[in-house]
């Protein structure tokens, strides 16, 4: 047997992995495109309970107010004077965005009202307060 016949025998027994790699890359692209990303405020709050709570989906701007009256937006603590600038920045990214405020049950009602008022001053028509359904 010549060396040429030996090389041909090796090539006929080899498996071509190119189609399998193509399928893997297509599946990877599919999962990346269809994945939904959960937005978080960056801090955990104890939300008050309410009997008339309605589920709200697709909230694009989440604001958290802790029991020590700290304001968190996009996993960053924000000074009360900087809330307006942060909401404006997020509205520039998503002009039709809605605001959901996750206020702790021990948070100041005055601060909650100020944050909601700031959002409404920026022409956000959909401002909601997050609660737990009782």
Instruction: Give tens-digit pLDDT for 10-26.
Output: 666 778 888 889 999 99
- What end-to-end distance do the CA atoms of the chain give, in Å? 83
Instruction: Give tens-digit pLDDT for 76-105.
Output: 899 999 999 999 998 888 888 889 898 998
Residue 74 has pLDDT above 90, yes or no: no
Contacts of 74 (CB under 8 A, 6+ apart): 41, 42, 86, 90
Rounded to whole angstroms, the Cα distance separating 116 from 128 reads 8
Residues 93 and 125 in one domain: yes
Residues 77 and 118 in one domain: yes
Residues 126 and 60 in one domain: yes
Angle between helices 83-93 and 109-121 (to 10 degrees): 40
Tally of structural domains, the chain: 2
Residues 27 and 57 in one domain: no
Residue 89's region, left for phi above 0, alpha for psi from -120 to 50, else beta, is: alpha
Q: Whose CA is closest to 45, among 106, 108, 117, 129?
A: 106
Can you give the residue range of the structural domain that contains 22?
Answer: 3-34
Can you give the CATH number for the domain in which 89 is found? 3.30.420.270
């Amino acid at each position: 047997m010549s060396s040429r016949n030996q090389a041909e025998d090796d090539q006929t027994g080899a498996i071509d992995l190119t189609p399998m790699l193509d399928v893997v890359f297509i599946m990877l692209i599919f999962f990346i495109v269809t994945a939904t990303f959960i937005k978080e405020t960056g801090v955990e709050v104890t939300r008050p309970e309410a009997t008339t709570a309605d589920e709200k989906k697709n909230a694009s701007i989440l604001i958290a107010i802790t029991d020590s009256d700290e304001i968190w937006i996009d996993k960053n603590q924000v000074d009360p004077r900087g809330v307006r600038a942060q909401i404006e920045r997020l509205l520039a990214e998503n002009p039709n965005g809605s605001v959901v405020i996750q206020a702790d049950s021990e948070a100041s009602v005055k601060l909650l009202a100020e944050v909601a008022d700031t959002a409404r001053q920026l022409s956000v028509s959909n401002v909601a307060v997050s609660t737990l359904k009782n």
